Amino acid sequence: MTIEVRVPTLGESVTEATVATWFKKPGDAVAVDEMLCELETDKVTVEVPAPAAGVMGEIVAAEGETVGVDALLATIAEGEGAAPAPAAAAPAPAAAPAASGGSVDVMVPTLGESVTEATVSTWFKQVGDAVAQDEMLCELETDKVSVEVPAPAAGVLAEIVAPEGTTVDASAKLAVISGSGAGATPAPAPAAAATPAAAATGKDVANAPSAEKAMAEAGMSATQVSGTGRDGRIMKEDVARAVATAAAPAPAAAPAPAPVPRAPVAADDAAREERVKMTRLRQTIAKRLKDSQNTAAMLTTYNEVDMTEVMALRSQYKDQFEKKHGVRLGFMSFFTKACCHALKEVPEVNAEIDGTDIVYKNFVHMGVAAGTPTGLVVPVIRDADSMSFAAIEKAIAEKGKRARDGKLSMAEMQGGTFTISNGGVYGSLMSSPILNPPQSGILGMHKIQDRPMAINGQVVIRPMMYLALSYDHRIVDGKGAVTFLVRVKEALEDPRRLLMDL
């Protein structure tokens, strides 16, 4: 049977790529998940694995060709070459298993689109420990998620190549597992590891076609460009960096003074301090939030909502709701529905800026900010505007659990068009949420607190909540922001408006 190899998803707003390099030729045997080719986009380099074992058939898109998402790249004749395929179990250093007499390399797994490196956070096994197939060996930490690395085979952990705290790239070797025993295999492992390194230094590496073209246009040679691709291959973005560096050598030193030196600390105080390295997730959160402040013209408007009707409705139907749908009825589904309703009337709050264009989204992918032990993440509920109360509650519960367990994938945190952040669960009475770029709006929920309110000339006690909408003033005017918040308030104070689409 013939299997088609197609262009994978390339990431948000990326619609095409250039075929940079083919690692296989027609007639070559391929194993499942063995790398067939490398695609180059404007932002990242994407490796395309084999969807099945077999023999490489026709290469439809040659090196240098530009292809769209889901375009046909090649074909594989399934099964015909399956016998020799296991020899390539470790895609990058293929010579290592043979040289080490039955050892298996533990490689960095796929980290997700646009993620090129990770930090080894924890090893669950030590050298000499016996491991079972699929048993967790270590945990990697990326900018977004934590990735557990399972053992590809049963045996004994012979060598840890990347200890805790090491930053590794997407094709790096983490460890070596010996299948023949603990005593004899650890010694040859360093020699085997040196083989691919030596081979790499003496190998002629072909640069990406787009990089060759860019170097020719810029009048540069390969010796003037430092390659960041596989085996030091020069990519298009490497040439762009080299050209920019050559054109502006003086200003390059300007960003250096950015880090502010820490003020001197008294010796007595220093002895009682503890210095802990920031996790990659925390570094990314800090960078993105600061970039958001520096990029957007951010402004916050406030209102308050009487939660009496929502609380009464929830109290009346929560038992029936949970019995029928198997999930508790919370406040988040009401707020999600109210926001989707308001976004239809004020679409600019659901839009984003792309250069000199405004991109209006005719759908709502709702981001729900969730606090985890490692930091803040924002899983996305896709097409929330077309979901029922029960579907929203189930999605939020499932995403929240995956976030707390560190199991969210990159795809689950991408593509949001608007975000809700509930600081009320921590007791916050009022705050100004920060935008989640490239979004133009974020709603902040807060603590429900009984307060005296003037209703029809009388002072009565009502459960009140402050609402905060932070928005990008470059795209959302004050009138639109206030209208949005008022529509959310009206929908929550009279939930029947949601049913009547008012």
Q: Evaluate if residue 203 carries a pLDDT over 60.
A: no
Q: Of residues 318 and 291, which shows the higher confidence score?
A: 318
What confidence tier does 108 reach under pLDDT thresholds 50, 70, 90?
confident
Q: Which DSSP state fits 398?
A: H
Please answer whether residues 210 and 40 qualify as being in contact, where contact means their C-beta atoms are separated by less than 8 angstroms: yes
pLDDT tens digits for range 420-437: 998 888 888 899 898 888
pLDDT at position 470, please? 94
Give me the phi and psi of 347, to 5 degrees please.
-65, -20
Share of the chain above pLDDT 90, in %: 28
Supply the pLDDT for residue 268.
Answer: 78
What was the pLDDT predicted at 34?
85
Q: Are 227 and 236 in contact (CB under 8 A)?
A: no
Phi, psi of 84 (to 5 degrees): -80, -10
Instruction: Indicate the helix (H) or strand (E) that contains 255.
Output: none
Mean predicted confidence (pLDDT) in 71-94: 58
244-255 average pLDDT score = 58
List the single range of 131-135, 204-208, 232-236 with lowest mean pLDDT. 204-208
In terms of pLDDT, which residue wins out, 496 or 45? Answer: 496
> Helices 478-493 & 332-345, crossing angle to 10 degrees?
140
Residues 17, 41 contacting (CB under 8 angstroms): yes
Reported as type and span, the H/E element at residue 177 is: strand 173-178
Q: For position 184, what pLDDT does the model report?
A: 38
347 contacts: CB under 8 Å, gap ≥ 6: 360, 361
Cα 464 to Cα 446: distance, rounded to the nearest angstrom: 9
Q: State the pLDDT confidence band at 258, using cuts at 50, 70 and 90.
A: low
DSSP state of 198: H
In 165-274, alpha helices (H): 188-202, 209-218, 236-247, 267-270
pLDDT tops 70 at residue 114: no
| φ/ψ of residue 392, rounded to 5 | -65, -45
Please say whether the dihedral angle defined by the alpha carbons of residues 187, 188, 192 and 195, taken in this order, is positive or negative. Answer: positive
Q: How far apart are CA 307 and CA 462, in angstroms?
A: 8
Which pLDDT score, from 0 to 100, does residue 491 have?
Answer: 93
Give the chain's mean pLDDT: 80
* Residue 352 and residue 359 in contact, taking contact as beta carbons nearer than 8 Å: yes
CB atoms within 10 A of CB 191: 10
Can you read off the two tokens belonging to residue 410?
A: 């990159």
Residue among 143, 268, 473, 494 flagged as catalytic: 473
In whole angstroms, give the CA distance from residue 471 to residue 299.
Answer: 6
pLDDT at residue 209, as a whole number: 64
What's the CA angle centered on 449, arms 446 and 454, to 5 degrees? 115
Strand order in the sheet with 103-107: 103-107, 173-178, 155-160, 130-131
Q: Please name the amino acid found at residue 444.
A: G
Rounded Cα distance, 165 and 141, in Å: 10
Question: Binning pLDDT at 50, 70 and 90, where does residue 490 land?
Answer: very high
Task: Verify whether residue 477 is a known catalytic residue.
Answer: yes
- pLDDT single digits (tens) 325-383: 999 998 999 999 999 999 999 999 999 988 888 899 999 999 998 887 777 788 899 99
- Number of neighbours of residue 441 by Cβ within 10 angstroms: 29
Tokens 């020719």: give the residue: 216
Average pLDDT over residues 8-34: 82
Per-residue pLDDT at 122 = 85
CA–CA separation, 343 and 480 (whole Å): 10
Asked if pLDDT for residue 23 goes beyond 80, the answer is: yes
User: Which among 377, 344, 338 is positioned nearest to 363, based on CA atoms?
Assistant: 344
Q: Is the pTM for the entire model greater than 0.85?
A: no
Q: What is the pLDDT of residues 344-357, one digit of tens each?
A: 999 999 999 888 88
- CA-wise closest residue to 185 among 108, 99, 123: 99
